[in-house]
Amino acid sequence: MSKTAQDYFNEATTLCQNKKYKEAIPLFSKAIKLDEGNLKIRYDRAKAHFKLGEFDASISDFNLLVEKEPNNGYFLSERAVAFHLNKQNELAMVDLNRAAELEPNKPFRYSSRAYIKERMGDLEGAIEDYERCIALDPDDAIAHNNKGLVEEKLGYQARSKVSFARADELDPNYDKEKIEKSRQERAELNKPQTEKVAKTDLSVDKLTVKGYLKSVKSLASDKSERKQFFKFIKQIFKAEN
């Protein structure tokens, strides 16, 4: 009996669950050949390529997904991450801007764009987007905390203290010592680097993201938007390791 698209998809999904993305991709491809209109299969293949760091292939799949559903903010946001990690930052920002235009009342659209802006060096732009996020959701502790991190990076110490204090006030159930340690680690990483460290920029960037993730993880709440933002930056970090 011949296998169906669902059979191949199920096998590929099981392989992905075991982090065997390379073995899963040919099975996703067979499933797509049998059911070309199934966007879920193509999306999962895009993510498998992404996990392997095969960003060109991932973007190719996301291109078709966006072509089929041009107003899907989720597809645009996911493709933006792939563009960013593929050093195509201008295209990443086009997608993030479009996602924000499509869903202007969704705080996550601004917090995710803010994170990419920070990584691109647009710190003032990142702060503006965190402020947009906070305007829509004043109780978002993560946005307040992350805005404080960027303000600290710019040397706006008084402003960063206000942001951190508000984050602390909104989420009293975090480990204060852990958060303070991660903030200190990030502050150290943001200081001018020595010549020796400057030669390992990628390692420094990874460490910076690690510190960032520690802060966000400690502040994570049950709100779906915050979970989505944490997933957004976590996938960036994983793709770089």
In this prediction, residues 80-89 reach a mean pLDDT of: 95
pLDDT of residue 13: 97
Whole-angstrom distance, CA of residue 196 vs CA of residue 8: 49
Contacts of 92 (CB under 8 A, 6+ apart): 80, 81, 83, 84, 116
The pLDDT > 90 percentage for the chain reads 68
Residue bearing the bigger pLDDT, 194 or 52:
52
Q: What is the 3-state secondary structure (H, E, C) of the chain?
A: CCCCHHHHHHHHHHHHHCCCHHHHHHHHHHHHHHCCCCHHHHHHHHHHHHHCCCHHHHHHHHHHHHHHCCCCHHHHHHHHHHHHHCCCHHHHHHHHHHHHHHCCCCHHHHHHHHHHHHHHCCHHHHHHHHHHHHHHCCCCHHHHHHHHHHHHHCCCHHHHHHHHHHHHHHCCCCCHHHHHHHHHHHHHHCCCCCHHHHCCHHHHHHHHHHHHHHHHHHHCCCCHHHHHHHHHHHHHHHHCC
pTM reported for the whole predicted model: 0.74
By CB atoms closer than 10 A (0-12, 13-18, 19+), residue 164 is buried
Question: Phi/psi at 183 (nearest 5 deg)?
Answer: -65, -40
pLDDT per residue over 135-155, tens digit each?
Answer: 999 999 989 999 999 999 999
The yes-or-no verdict on residue 96 having pLDDT over 80 is yes
The yes-or-no verdict on residue 234 having pLDDT over 90 is no
pLDDT of residue 214: 44
Phi-psi region of 121 (alpha: psi -120 to 50; beta: other; left: phi over 0): left
pLDDT per residue over 209-229, tens digit each?
Answer: 444 444 444 444 445 666 666
pLDDT tier, 171 (very low <50, low <70, confident <90, very high otherwise)? confident
Contact 9, 48 (CB under 8 A): no
Average pLDDT score, the chain: 82
